[in-house]
Structure 1
Amino acid sequence: MVHSQESIDSLVNHIESSFSSHPSESIYFQTSKDIYETGEDLWFKAYQLDAQTFGLSDKSKTLYLQMINPKDSVVWQEKYPVENGIVSGHIYIDEKLPEGDYFLEGYTKHSFYKNDTIGITPTRKIRIVKNIARSEVMENPKDTIFRFETFPEGGNLVSGLSSKLAFKATDGKGNPVSVEGTIYEDDKFLCGIKSVHDGMGTVSFTPLANKKYKIELKNGKSYPLPGIHSQGMVLNLRKQDKEHLDFVLSQTKGLPHRQIYLLGQMRGMICCMAKGILKDSLKISIPLENFPYQGIAEFTLFDSSMQPVAERLVYVHPQKKLYITAEPEKTSFTIREKASIKIKTTDEKGNPVRANLGISVYDRAYNNPADPVNILTYCYLSSQIRGRICNPTYYFDEKNSDRKEALDLLLLTQGWRRYVWNAVEPDCQGQPFLTDEINGMQTLKSKKKDKQNEGAEQLIQVFGAEGNSQFIWTDSTGRFMVDPDKMKALQGGYVYLKPMLSKEFKPALELVDYFPLIDSIKKNRPQYYPMEELSHYKKEQILDLPVISSDSTILLNEVTITAKGHKPFRDKMMGRLDSLAKVDLNKAWVCECQPVYLNDYYPGYTHHPNGKYDKVKKLPVEGKGYRIIKYSPMMVVEDIQEIVYSGPLYSDEELLKMNNLWRTKGYYGKREFYQPDEVDIQLSTPDARNTLLWTPSVITDEKGEAKVYFYCSDINTGFIGVVEGVDGSGLLGNAKCEFRVIRK
């Protein structure tokens, strides 16, 4: 028994060390809607959750966010501060982006590890269109590839032992295919099979090692069954209710009695360990009170030498969640009317719960049925298993009476889990490599050594995009850090750094950019994302949309609404650098010829192509109009333009070098979601808002209640309200509501 206990302890230690090398945080993205038009702002809330409990985690302080286009290229990347496990931010959807499905991907210090090639990158799909009224529903392309897989319960078929065999049929893109067929034993009919949910089903029978088995499907394809072991053990889940799981363990007759162990764990937490003496069969009842949370429980059967011989995934406690109700004050409102939604949060027993919620109300035209994802489906399913999941919301919709059986089928057809039971070392030697801070090093490139400055702490000035500044010190080796608190104070885009040493020492800064490192690691990871229910966009949407004119403007009461223009972002610090550059250097000059030409301003444009000019070169005047001229190599005039002089044209890199500055990405700037107040809503200006409300942080009170208010716009159509959130200690929940906006 002492040896046995040592083996158990060794196994427990192995599991703990294995999971210490896995990311300890998970991220879920909630967005203000599913579909966006180019030129809009995408508002998001990121929940940073403990990977085991799903309680809010504050271990990481910085979110690295990328938006990936359909060709797997990055079109947006910024950093955002994490506060108490929550990130609230926005992304600008550039007007030049082509239509398609894009992905938000998030990385933090404790959710994305180096060398971890099996982890799942936190991802949220969004659709981008040019014009919502012209977007089309695309039919899923036909796929001629057919795949059929079988999965014995526990892992193996054993001769003479009753076994359950699960199966799954898909096409080449992972879409489910309904199947029907027959199992033959030595070419004799044994039993029929038929899928019951999304191409999945099960059949029970007793295989024999001296027989040959195959499955023939009605589509004419034939498949041999997995190899049948002549002897061994089988793990079978016989019964499941709210209180217990009943397992039956069986082994081949004639084998000696042996001690076995059944280990139950959830997301790396060991929840129970049962042991017993297996003769021919053994029933083990597991109390579900050992599992504190909702989710996938993993049961592994070990023999007396602590070798894994069978495994079973079981979904437990579907009732343990955050129950959210969202009730609009009325089922319909008039345009510009003040509206409200009452929200209540409770646990499974009906007790009020204080919760942190994100709430969005938007035109239902921007709802994407081809993206069946919410906080429950992502955290409890998509982030936990590697197989592709078709329509994960089905398993959480209480209207589906067979959802529990369907969910068990989904878990039966996952195969063995990712964990490799190796007592020597964990399967994944992951380690954090991202940092919450800005890190760098200052070096002195001057050949002249200065004993006073060599090996001493040096001062560096740090600017924000708004021009505000702070000071930091290097250590004796030149290393320095801008911590998250300073980054928040400087929030607004880039952070600029200026060594305070004299230029004669030629100080240079080396800054670490983690985004390229993220990209290199991400290439080795497979992508997992839930699949749509049936189709995605083609066919015209039949929606009661506002009238859209041919030039894409929205027509309301014969008043044309045009979109607001967006200017390219250029922060104030670069403006300051421009002004410095105008003072320090100015290559452009004006000749005394008639007419007057501006020289050496635009590349290739000059009045004196041979470079000789003996007269006085005058400086151009800011805001004054000049001609510029371009010659061909044969001295033929190619182009003449009229321009207004606005200072020297330098790249950002040139300006930084001229002023002995370095820059790196800091926290992206904050913006507030616009909501009209009582005065705004009375204005005659047409109101074409399709998102009426985006409130990323609503906290329910001690009664579990909250109420949100907003004004309807001039769009008269159906609207959807989406509420998602957490209680902070492991309960997750979501709710939807609908109402209409009508004209009087």
Structure 2
Amino acid sequence: MYKRIFFLFIFCIFIDECYSQVAIDTVIENLHEQSSANPSEVLYFQTSKGIYETGEDLWFKVYQLDAQSFGLSDKSKTLYLQMINSCDSIVWQEKYPIESGVVSGHIYIDEKLSNGDYFLFGYTKGSFYAKDTIGIIPSRKVKIVKNIIHAQVPEPPKDSLCRFEIYPEGGNLVAGIPSILAFKTTDGNGLPINVDGALFQDGKLITDVKSMHDGMGSILFTPCLGSAYYVELKGGKKFPLQETIHSEGIVMRLIKRNKKELTFLISKSAGTAVQPIYLMCQIRGMLCCVGKGLLKDNLRINIPLDNIPYQGIAEITLFNGNMEPVAERLVYVHPDKKLHVAVELNKHTYTIREKATAKIKVTDESGVPVQANLGISVYERAYSNPVDPVNILTHCYLSSQIRGRIYNPAYYFERVDKERSSALDLLLLTQGWRRYVWAFNTPVYHGEMFLTDEISGVQRIRSRSKRKELQGSEQLVQVSNADGKAGLILADSMGNFTVDADIMNDFRSGYLYLKPLLPKDFKPELVIMDCFPQIDSVRKSRQPYYPIVDLSEVMNMQSFDVPVVSGDSTILLDEVVITRKAVRPFRDKMMGKLDSLVQKDLNPAWVCHCGGETINGYLNDYRGYSHHPAGCPTCGGPLKNKSMPVRGKSYDIIKYEPVGPKGEWIVTDLDFVVYNGPEFSEEELLRMNNLWRTQGYYAAREFYQPDEIDMQLSTPDARNTLLWAPSIVTDEKGEAMVTFYCSDINSSFVGVIEGVDGSGLLGNEVFDFRVVRY
């Protein structure tokens, strides 16, 4: 009998272990399915500065990172980029090639753009899915002004609303079990409000309530079933505790943390059965470890941090004996696991046009040298955007991971100490709080990848009589660019064709032109897929989240080397203290230039002024009329004295034709017309020439950096951006050196370094110096 009981006991343990393993495997499989349904890449924008003047070039670098490891990803080859103004209107839209997980490019800031905030949005096939309503669109905010003088921070909007929100740690409050109650107080603009008050139970004060950081705080209390709770702040505002207090359940609480492990206290109510529990830890969809224990009353479970390979937000989920999620907690881990970037300037103060040298050293958290891919920018401090608190750490580790607008995320990465760790924990208890995202009984949502790296289309034959001749055969399509470079691509028997990323890169100059190589009697037509309209429809269905700062605090901190000018051009001075003769900072608007790309001339009309025979000249190549159909003999060729016609202006038109004796060219008609623009639209002219046009990769440009000879010229040098180097790679010692020349601007300058090591470590550093006149 004893042997049978013992055997039955062993058998039950075996069945329980088997069931547990099957259940855990199911959870892991579900986690894998959910992770594979999410975008596989994260994008981060680094810009050459924060504020731009109209007429300048905006230089940028995009890091394409694996969504789990944050290592450089090469899954996508094409970046779709849009620049959008505050009214959600697109002011720039181009495609750029991605090479080894990095994009380096530029945007021209048109002179016609108005002052205001603009956003850069980036999309790749691996980072932006259709029907995904929770994903974060990678973005970067820049400010555009007509002149840097107008780059003042606006007055913050007034708001008297006070929103007090409460978040139980883990998810639920259970009667009789001590629990952490986190809270967050904000105004109607989402800015934090620091508060002081108390928590009352049935009208009796039980504990004080006071915010610790940016309107956030927490209290420890034991809820009672049937009691009414409310928080009363100083000033008399009351907020009832609307969270349901459950009679039975399980509560998870983080009670201890250090550099080696996290300690959680798991407690259950008296009426809940003894049962096995499972504690699962994951980071960005990667399962790190699973802990198991038998919960009788209270149970402590430790999670070794060695099991978590990366810095970032770890998700800790508690499952009961039926493998149902009952509590979840976000914890920030490994804040030191990053690139540590050190910069050493050869001087701290330079004179105008002096050469500067910066030595860079990159190590990991243990001081081991790291080979890193860095982007470096040096620009005048006045062009820093104080209302954009974003860098590579804040975007990748916070903004791309939790929903909602984060207030001043840079604060949490300025340095690692106990105060900031506690503040970051409060952020995750409130902003990052969630209530069980696990849903085993519902199908896993699978994102829909809809962007492509290549250009795809189909060639259709509109002539019914000719379709049978091409049935089952392949056709050729010519591809060319604005520089006249041409090649051939193959369309299959169904007419489908693609222009792959390699061809787009080889023909990189803006627009690509496609031409069917079939006789006109086939009436060929190309239908080319354009992804940008689809991007717009998906983008507009998502709630944008971008970090915010308190404008009033920024206004108090902001100072410029330039004088502040009022609307009537009066220079406003707060105080004048004469101490010595000084030189006012020299600053001029550094104008950019549009790309000097050779585009196809789809409007052939032009004006010839040769001989002075008419007041406004002859209008050529218009309505079949041309003064010089074979060239201009008196002007030395068709390009000399050639100008574009002006709308509304009157011109003589003359037609020559070879209809005279022995084919001589003679005048057959004369007229006097008002020019009202091209006879045909660009699309009509393209069709007339059997051409189709589509966006290829935007043309590459190089950032201008003067050399020693340039600096000896007497031409004024008004560069406000002294260096933009997006492709600096440190050597095996983790070192790199960059040099640049100061301009004629005598002011404060700031340098920004950001980068990755390719395997998951991210880092940034900021340095500054001064340029003076002697």
Work out whether the TM-score is over 0.5: yes
1:85 corresponds in structure 2 to: 101
Quote the offset at 1:589 in angstroms.
4.3
One-letter amino acid of the counterpart of residue 219, structure 2: V
1:715 corresponds in structure 2 to: 745
One-letter amino acid of the counterpart of residue 305, structure 1: N
2:64 corresponds in structure 1 to: 48
Distance across 2 between alignment mates of 1:124 and 1:494? 26
1:8 and 2:20 equivalent?
no
Distance across 1 between alignment mates of 2:685 and 2:509? 19
1:501 corresponds in structure 2 to: 518
Q: Secondary structure at the residue paired with 1:409?
A: helix
Distance across 2 between alignment mates of 1:131 and 1:157? 55
Alignment partner of 1:285 out of 302, 326, 329: 302
One-letter amino acid of the counterpart of residue 72, structure 2: L
1:310 corresponds in structure 2 to: 327
Alignment partner of 1:248 out of 257, 265, 280: 265
2:81 corresponds in structure 1 to: 65
Alignment partner of 1:443 out of 460, 464, 468: 460
2:715 corresponds in structure 1 to: 685
2:600 corresponds in structure 1 to: 574
2:690 corresponds in structure 1 to: 660
Quote the offset at 1:654 in angstroms.
2.3
Quote the offset at 1:532 in angstroms.
1.5
User: Cα gap change, 1:422/1:577 in structure 2, threshold over 3 Å: closer, same or farther?
Assistant: same
1:428 corresponds in structure 2 to: 445
Q: Per-residue CA shift, 1:600-630, capped at 9, x if unaligned?
A: x88888899xxxxxx98558x9xxxx99666
Quote the offset at 1:420 in angstroms.
2.9
Within 5 Å, give how 1:263-662 maps onto structure 2.
Answer: 263-398=280-415, 402-414=419-431, 416-417=433-434, 420-535=437-552, 542-545=559-562, 564=591, 566=593, 571-575=597-601, 578=604, 586-587=622-623, 589=625, 650-662=680-692
User: Cα gap change, 1:182/1:656 in structure 2, threshold over 3 Å: closer, same or farther?
Assistant: same
Distance across 1 between alignment mates of 2:280 and 2:201? 35
Alignment partner of 1:727 out of 736, 757, 774: 757
Q: Which runs of 5+ in 2 are unaligned?
A: 1-15, 570-582, 609-618, 628-644, 658-664
1:107 corresponds in structure 2 to: 123
Q: Which runs of 5+ in 1 are unaligned?
A: 592-600, 609-614, 631-642
Tell whether the 8 Å contact from 2:386 to 2:554 is kept in structure 1 after alignment. no
Alignment partner of 2:218 out of 202, 209, 217: 202
User: Cα gap change, 1:19/1:216 in structure 2, threshold over 3 Å: closer, same or farther?
Assistant: same
User: Cα gap change, 1:667/1:383 in structure 2, threshold over 3 Å: closer, same or farther?
Assistant: same
Distance across 2 between alignment mates of 1:494 and 1:106? 20
Tell whether the 8 Å contact from 1:461 to 1:470 is kept in structure 2 after alignment. yes
Distance across 2 between alignment mates of 1:354 and 1:194? 46
TM-score for both structures, normalised by structure 2: 0.86
Q: Per-residue CA shift, 1:251-289, capped at 9, x if unaligned?
A: 002422011111110000010111111011000011000
Q: Secondary structure at the residue paired with 1:13?
A: helix
Distance across 2 between alignment mates of 1:154 and 1:565? 54
User: Cα gap change, 1:144/1:549 in structure 2, threshold over 3 Å: closer, same or farther?
Assistant: closer
User: Cα gap change, 1:536/1:136 in structure 2, threshold over 3 Å: closer, same or farther?
Assistant: farther
Quote the offset at 1:134 in angstroms.
3.0
Q: Per-residue CA shift, 1:673-710, capped at 9, x if unaligned?
A: 00001111111100000000000000000100000000
Tell whether the 8 Å contact from 2:173 to 2:246 is kept in structure 1 after alignment. yes
User: Cα gap change, 1:407/1:724 in structure 2, threshold over 3 Å: closer, same or farther?
Assistant: same
Q: Secondary structure at the residue paired with 1:449?
A: helix
User: Cα gap change, 1:560/1:21 in structure 2, threshold over 3 Å: closer, same or farther?
Assistant: closer
TM-score for both structures, normalised by structure 1: 0.90
User: Cα gap change, 1:670/1:87 in structure 2, threshold over 3 Å: closer, same or farther?
Assistant: same
1:152 and 2:188 equivalent?
no
2:239 corresponds in structure 1 to: 223
Quote the offset at 1:220 in angstroms.
1.9
Distance across 2 between alignment mates of 1:298 and 1:8? 16
Tell whether the 8 Å contact from 2:625 to 2:654 is kept in structure 1 after alignment. no
2:202 corresponds in structure 1 to: 186
Distance across 2 between alignment mates of 1:147 and 1:17? 37
One-letter amino acid of the counterpart of residue 725, structure 2: T
2:768 corresponds in structure 1 to: 738
Q: Secondary structure at the residue paired with 2:122?
A: strand
Quote the offset at 1:135 in angstroms.
2.3
User: Cα gap change, 1:607/1:725 in structure 2, threshold over 3 Å: closer, same or farther?
Assistant: closer
Tell whether the 8 Å contact from 1:233 to 1:309 is kept in structure 2 after alignment. yes
Quote the offset at 1:571 in angstroms.
4.6
One-letter amino acid of the counterpart of residue 668, structure 1: Y
Tell me the number of residue pairs that the alignment of Structure 1 and Structure 2 aligns: 706
The sequence identity of aligned pairs, in percent, is 58
Tell whether the 8 Å contact from 1:266 to 1:297 is kept in structure 2 after alignment. yes
1:27 and 2:43 equivalent?
yes
Distance across 1 between alignment mates of 2:222 and 2:566? 67
Q: Secondary structure at the residue paired with 1:461?
A: strand
Tell whether the 8 Å contact from 1:132 to 1:365 is kept in structure 2 after alignment. yes
User: Cα gap change, 1:212/1:570 in structure 2, threshold over 3 Å: closer, same or farther?
Assistant: same
Tell whether the 8 Å contact from 2:403 to 2:432 is kept in structure 1 after alignment. no
One-letter amino acid of the counterpart of residue 445, structure 1: R
Tell whether the 8 Å contact from 1:151 to 1:415 is kept in structure 2 after alignment. no
User: Cα gap change, 1:423/1:738 in structure 2, threshold over 3 Å: closer, same or farther?
Assistant: same
Q: Secondary structure at the residue paired with 2:469?
A: coil
Q: Per-residue CA shift, 1:35-79, capped at 9, x if unaligned?
A: 111111000000000000000000000000001101111111100
Quote the offset at 1:550 in angstroms.
11
User: Cα gap change, 1:482/1:590 in structure 2, threshold over 3 Å: closer, same or farther?
Assistant: closer
Tell whether the 8 Å contact from 2:561 to 2:585 is kept in structure 1 after alignment. no
User: Cα gap change, 1:627/1:479 in structure 2, threshold over 3 Å: closer, same or farther?
Assistant: same
Q: Per-residue CA shift, 1:57-113, capped at 9, x if unaligned?
A: 000000000011011111111000000000000001111111111110100000001
User: Cα gap change, 1:546/1:524 in structure 2, threshold over 3 Å: closer, same or farther?
Assistant: same
Q: Secondary structure at the residue paired with 1:477?
A: coil
Distance across 1 between alignment mates of 2:654 and 2:312? 80
2:7 corresponds in structure 1 to: none
Quote the offset at 1:222 in angstroms.
1.3
What is the RMSD computed on CA atoms of the aligned residues? 3.0
Q: Secondary structure at the residue paired with 1:452?
A: helix
Distance across 2 between alignment mates of 1:698 and 1:607? 56
One-letter amino acid of the counterpart of residue 249, structure 1: I
Quote the offset at 1:652 in angstroms.
1.8
